[in-house]
Amino acid sequence: MTKTIILYVLAGCVLALLLRKLQMRLQLSRAKHRSLTGHSRMARRFASLVPFYEYDDAHFFRADAAPDAVAATRRAGFMRLAAVFAERFKKTAELTGEIAGSVSDLQFTSRYRVPFQFSGFVQRHFKAGVFLESSSGVMVTDLDGNRLYDLTGSYGVNVFGYDFYKECIEQGAQRVRGLGPVLGAYHPVTAYNARRLLQISGLDEISFHMSGTEAVMQAVRLARYHTGRTHLVRFCGAYHGWWGDVQPGVGNPLATRETYTLKDMDAAALRVLRNRRDIACVLVNPLQALHPNVSAPGDSTLIDSGRTAHFARAAYAAWLERLREVCSARGIVLIFDEVFVGFRLGLGGAQEYFGVRADMVTYGKTVAGGLPVGVLCGLGKFMRRFREDRPADICFARGTFNSHPYVMGAMHEFLQRLDTVPMRELYRDLDNVWNTRAQALNDRLAAAQLPVRVANLSSIWTIFYPSPSRYNWMFQYYLRAAGISLSWVGTGRLIFSLNYTDAEFAEVADRIVSAARAMQQDEWWWAEPQLTNKSIRRRVFKEMLQARWASTSPMGSMSSPRIK
Ligand SMILES: Cc1ncc(COP(=O)(O)O)c(C=O)c1O
């Protein structure tokens, strides 16, 4: 009898445990975004199944089943633009061509500028090149002498204008020249940098690294060390550098086992944080406020017009507050990854801008005055790399070039300049300036009935396309022909430096409008009622199935080695 009771009790315990596990699993599933971006493993599996195929000459212009007359107009426009490129960017393109085959980065970025079905044809016709000769004000000059308005922002580094960084680098170098490249010991400017960054971040300790990726790695490693927990939480779509643990899914050959990717701005994510015991830290990239749950909007994924963006400051601030509460309650380390937005939104970064304090903050990009860097600031209790009571239990982190005197010199110049009155003035009305500019441009685009709009988080902008189309990615080439320089991700991310005057901005806005008008005249945005984002996606999916299972295709050339 007692034996039976014990067995029942045991079975009850096992059942309760299983039910609890199941509940946690369900909670986790509910906290994942329903897109592929929210399901890293599935995304990797899906990516491995996507076959290569590309449109031949005929299908390139009719991928949306446009009538022949429209295709002919597009072709004429495309060839005209290609001729402009060939003439205008000749020298720049020639040098690029010489090295294109042997520089991996270049091969990758030139292939992934547009959706892969169009990529080969585009690469053969548009040769613009990657070389630049000089920069000045808000412009860059290529090898052919073309002066282009810079909207690349050098991946976000360029907050104050290139001349500002040239000065930081030159004067910083002068300051540290006596010591030169001595590593291990610190140049005295490092003391100022440490003090100043701790003041700005409101945190206790600092470490210097060589890139934003490394600063993030160190933050997560320390969070794991101090909490004794394994998992990091990142939000769907957020970029935190290219280290494996923060980049699950497509792009990483390994599946990450200790990363939870949760829905951004969603109560289901908070439930997971409240209930799981294995979460060491939560990583927040405040840039996601512009497009929660969506990856950096590159033009290579512009299959249709599904890209959207909208920034709601109060809603995001409220979300961060809720995150703060749950992290504090559960002993989870809250990390703001401000590598991108730090010093762009406000002097005190995202913490100040959204009014929420983090346990750790990473900075990078702009903070070293134009030289490579990553910085981690944190509460003392999370930054310590050893335990007083267990001398062999350490959390290791080094890096040959950490605190390099030249980097510290340029950083010193950068931080000193932040303290000046004109700088504080610049920050004072920042949001208003950029929101007004974005609104004015949207009004113009709407008045001209052009299917292009912008959304912005301060000076970080994204272009989106309100009418269904397969050809939105072509806009980057019209913009380039209009004298605007974009990064390889194209129209998904325009980064303005804060030294753009009203007159310079007006010139850029004129060019954006005229580029859109030219693209519209060339009929890339031809539309018919049946053409919807859904119908476009269905069509592309069908093409993929055909390419995967058939050796010939109605679409044109099928040059995938996998298909042959
Ligand atoms: C938010 C964020 N974190 C980390 C990184 C990685 O920085 P880095 O490219 O310096 O390694 C980036 C780079 O874009 C970033 O935007």
CA distances (Å), origin 159, targets 83, 89, 147, 417: 34, 27, 20, 13
Going by C-alpha positions, the residue among 82, 98, 87 that lies closest to residue 145 is 87
Q: What is the pLDDT of residues 120-133, one digit of tens each?
A: 999 999 887 899 99
pLDDT for position 13: 87
Per-residue pLDDT, averaged over 234-250, amounts to 95
pLDDT category at 561 given cuts 50, 70, 90 is very low
551: phi then psi, degrees, rounded to nearest 5: -90, -15
Torsion angle of C-alpha atoms 445, 448, 449, 450, degrees rounded to 10: -50
Does residue 564 surpass a pLDDT of 50?
no
CA distances (Å), origin 171, targets 201, 409, 419: 25, 8, 16
Q: What is the pLDDT of residues 442-463, one digit of tens each?
A: 999 999 999 999 999 999 999 9
Q: What is the CA radius of gyration of the chain?
A: 26
Going by C-alpha positions, the residue among 281, 381, 378, 283 that lies closest to residue 331 is 281
Contact 375, 208 (CB under 8 A): yes
Contact 169, 371 (CB under 8 A): yes
Per-residue pLDDT, averaged over 62-83, amounts to 97
Per-residue pLDDT, averaged over 407-421, amounts to 96
Q: For atom 6 of ligand 1, which residue has the closest CA?
A: 241
The whole-angstrom separation of Cα 38 and Cα 377 is 29
pLDDT category at 156 given cuts 50, 70, 90 is very high
Q: Please tell me if the CB atom of residue 339 comes closer than 6 angstroms to any atom of ligand 1.
A: yes
The dihedral of CA 396, 399, 404, 407: what is its sign?
A: negative
Instruction: Please give the single-letter amino acid code of residue 384.
Output: R
Calculate how far, in angstroms, residue 212's C-alpha sits from the geometric centre of ligand 1.
5
pLDDT category at 548 given cuts 50, 70, 90 is confident
112's CB contacts (< 8 A; 6+ apart) are 119, 298, 300, 488
Going by C-alpha positions, the residue among 118, 108, 113 that lies closest to residue 128 is 113
Mean pLDDT of the chain: 94
Percent of the chain with pLDDT over 70: 97
Calculate how far, in angstroms, residue 489's C-alpha sits from the geometric centre of ligand 1.
15
pLDDT for position 244: 94
What region, left, alpha or beta, does residue 278 occupy, with left being phi > 0 and alpha being psi -120 to 50 degrees? Answer: alpha
pLDDT category at 9 given cuts 50, 70, 90 is confident
Q: What is the pLDDT of residues 21-43, one digit of tens each?
A: 898 999 999 999 999 999 999 99
pLDDT for position 560: 44
pLDDT for position 171: 98
Q: Which helix (H) or strand (E) holds 205?
A: strand 205-209
The whole-angstrom separation of Cα 374 and Cα 116 is 33
pLDDT for position 4: 86
Q: For atom 3 of ligand 1, which residue has the closest CA?
A: 240
Calculate how far, in angstroms, residue 203's C-alpha sits from the geometric centre of ligand 1.
21
Per-residue pLDDT, averaged over 146-170, amounts to 98
Does residue 81 surpass a pLDDT of 90?
yes
